[in-house]
Amino acid sequence: MAHPDVRGNPCSSASATARDAAERALRLMMVFDAPPLAELDAAMAADPGWCLPHVMKAGFLLSLTEPALLPEADAHLSHARALATDATPRERTHLEAQQRVLEGRWREALRLWDGLLVEHPCDALALQWAQLWDFYRGDAPALRQRPARALPDWDEADPLYACVLGLWAFGLEECNLYPQAEEAGRRALALDPGVPWAVHAVTHVMEMQGRFEDGGAWLRQHQPHWAEGNGLACHLWWHKALFRLEGMDLVGALRLVDTHFTGAAMQITLNRVDAASLLWRLHLLGEDVAAHGRALVDGWTMPDDEAGHYAFNDVHRVLALLLAQELPRAEAWLARCAERALSATDAGRDNHAMAREVGLPLMRGLIALARGDADGAADLIAPVRGQAARFGGSHAQRDLIDLTLLAAAADGGRRSLGRALLNERTMAKPASPLTRHWAARLALPGEARA
């Protein structure tokens, strides 16, 4: 017998206590306020025969993109499968989707969630998970379309409505619909100021429009809701640093590095990725961050069997190694990633194609630049731009590719490429101190870039 949750989605647990705990865990996942593990444990204790909390715990672990967590996620999915006899079709679909994620078959998981949302558009769990894996795959249309299909069926009085509106806002931004994205993000925060994904969406709008002063003020305005103890805090500090870099406030950016991207703040790969990305941008601007790079690498365990799990993370590991002046280790990591991506084993994993098309040539280009071969780096990296979305992440994160190309063009003989990249940049947003810096590095007329 099915028992509806607060949105009418069918659940197999007759325990209101278990369902309430699972709902609290769901909200924690959507607002990144704290890990949901304690609430999921409470749901399991209240109803040991309910499979969904085990699926939710596996899904949360998988969403961290940490290969070391795969065995624990697998154990929870196996436990859920043993309990699935009495599960609802919706719960079994979630189980099968997370099994596909575990196997690296992300597109198959997303197809399952798409089908589920056609029948249950108010399944916030499916919306949240699908958004994360669309993001990891760089699928901007899906980031926008999926929440758009569901939102009209939601009650605005639902406590999670603002969270779903935030998902849509981010999808709109990644599809370059900036005014609509900002409106949706601001509306979400008017309903619930504690939705950092909406803060994040509007922050991205300001980044893409070159509004670096507005962006810094926006993050300060909402800082009480995200800066301490929130799972998005490190990433939003990263955005704050990007706004400072856009204004060429390198001292301010380095101060943020020293405050928010060292020590205990660097506990998970997602945070280390942001640190590597920020340090690489500073490196490209001529800052000596080798000591920061070494500290990042020293705290980042890199066992051989983790190479090739997710191309986006692999590239950032190579960045960290290059910043730490560990060129042989970076080359070895690239070799292990290539071996896995080009092997026939697990050929259906989405990451294999991502690595072959974007990750591997990008890592080769970064290593070429570190060796001093600026033209070789440009020749390897430039063809990747057109398909960079296949690599995952956001426009703002993938801007690292263009910034690296600008550095390669400035250091080598591909000045025409650098000019073209700056032309594209200044057509997209007003010239900033950062843009003018690159025009000067390329010895381009300043007035042409204004």
Helices (H), strands (E): how many in the chain? 25, 2
Among 144, 216, 161, 137, residue whose Cα is nearest residue 394: 137
What is the C-alpha to C-alpha distance for residues 345 and 368, in angstroms, rounded to an integer? 29
The two tokens of residue 171 are 């999808």
Q: What is the pLDDT of residue 227?
A: 87
pLDDT tens, position by position, 414-449: 999 999 999 999 999 999 999 999 999 998 765 444
Contact 433, 405 (CB under 8 A): no
Give a yes or no: residue 236 inside a domain.
no
In this structure, are 115 and 187 located in the same domain? no
Full domain range(s) for residue 154: 138-231
- How does pLDDT run across 184-222, given as a tens digit for each residue? 999 999 999 999 999 999 999 999 999 999 999 999 999
Residue 404 counted as domain residue: yes
Which 8-state DSSP code applies to residue 342?
A: T
Place of tokens 């101190």: 433
Domain annotation covers residue 304 = yes
Residue 348 sits in the same domain as residue 434: yes
Q: Are residues 353 and 294 in the same domain?
A: yes
Nearest-5° Cα angle at 308, 302 to 309: 85
Tell me: do 288 and 375 sit in the same domain: yes
**170 three-state secondary structure:** helix
Average pLDDT, the chain: 94
Average pLDDT over residues 280-284: 98
Name the helix (H) or strand (E) containing 3: strand 3-4
C-beta of residue 175 within 8 angstroms of C-beta of residue 201: no
CA distance 76 to 86: 17
Cα–Cα distance for residue pair 450/15, rounded to 1 Å:
64
Could you tell me if residue 419 is inside a domain? yes
Same domain, 291 and 167: no
Residue 291 has pLDDT above 50, yes or no: yes
pLDDT > 90: percent of the chain: 90
Is 42 domain-assigned?
yes
* pLDDT-derived band at 267, boundaries 50, 70, 90: confident
Query: What single letter denotes the amino acid at residue 49?
Result: G
Residues 415 and 417: their CA atoms lie apart, in Å, by 5
Q: Do 60 and 81 belong to one domain?
A: yes
- At 263 the pLDDT is 86
| DSSP annotation of 345 | T
C-alpha distances (whole Å) from 35 to each of 99, 216, 254 are 21, 27, 29
> Which candidate, 82, 120, 139, 129, places its Cα nearest to that of 6?
120
Cβ atoms of residues 166 and 201 within 8 Å: yes
Tokens representing 91 are: 């719960």
**pLDDT band, residue 450 (cuts 50/70/90):** very low
Give me the number of domains the chain comprises.
3
Q: How many CB atoms lie within 10 A of CB 115?
A: 13
How deeply is 169 buried, as exposed, middle or buried, from its count of CB atoms within 10 A (0-12, 13-18, 19+)?
buried
Residues 288 and 257 in one domain: yes
Is residue 229 pLDDT above 60, yes or no? Answer: yes
Residues 21 and 106 in one domain: yes
313 in the same domain as 328: yes
Nearest alpha carbon to residue 240 among 30, 385, 396? 396
Within a domain: 39: yes
The Cα 182–Cα 81 span in angstroms is: 42
Confirm whether 416 is domain-assigned: yes
Query: What is the band of 228 on the pLDDT scale with cuts at 50, 70, 90?
Result: confident
- How do residues 345-398 score in pLDDT, each as one tens digit? 666 688 888 999 999 999 999 999 999 999 999 999 999 998 999 889 999 999
Dist CA 251 CA 211 (whole Å): 19
Residues whose CB is less than 8 angstroms from the CB of residue 319 and which lie 6 or more positions away in sequence, other chains included: 276, 277, 279, 280, 366
Measured between alpha carbons, how far is 429 from 253 in angstroms, rounded to an integer? 21
Q: How far is Cα 391 from Cα 427, in angstroms, rounded to an integer?
A: 24
Question: Beta partners for 10?
Answer: 4
Q: What is the DSSP letter of 391?
A: G
> Encoding tokens for residue 414?
């591909």
Taking residues 156-164, report their average pLDDT: 97
Predicted confidence band at 265 (pLDDT cuts at 50, 70, 90)? confident
Domain end marker among 210, 231, 252: 231
Same domain, 205 and 87: no
Q: Looking at the structure, do residues 176 and 154 belong to the same domain, yes or no?
A: yes
**End residue of a domain, out of 99, 134, 169:** 134
Same domain, 296 and 413: yes
Quickly tell me which residue has 């063009």 as its tokens: 409
Residue 344 is predicted with a pLDDT of: 58
Ramachandran area for residue 350 (φ above 0: left; ψ -120 to 50: alpha; else beta):
alpha
Is residue 394 within 8 Å of residue 204, measured between CB atoms? yes
- In terms of Cβ atoms closer than 10 Å to its own Cβ (0-12, 13-18, 19+), residue 295 is buried
The enclosing domain of 179 has a CATH number of 1.25.40
Residue 238 lies in a domain: no
Q: Give the pLDDT mean for 142-153.
A: 97
**In this predicted model, what pLDDT tens digit does every residue of 233-257 receive, in sequence order?**
999 999 999 999 999 999 999 999 9
Among 231, 260, 281, identify where a domain stops.
Answer: 231
**Confidence at residue 191, expressed as pLDDT on a 0 to 100 scale:** 97
Which parts of 32-152 fold into alpha helices (H)?
Answer: 37-46, 52-63, 70-83, 89-102, 106-119, 124-137, 140-150
**3-class DSSP assignment, residue 1:** coil
Tokens of 92: 């079994």
Comparing 287 with 305, the larger pLDDT belongs to 287
* pTM listed for this prediction: 0.95
What is the rounded CA–CA span in Å between residue 250 and residue 242? 10
**Positive or negative torsion for Cα 146, 148, 150, 155:** positive
Question: Does residue 63 carry a pLDDT above 60?
Answer: yes
Strand pairing report for 3-4 and 10-11: antiparallel
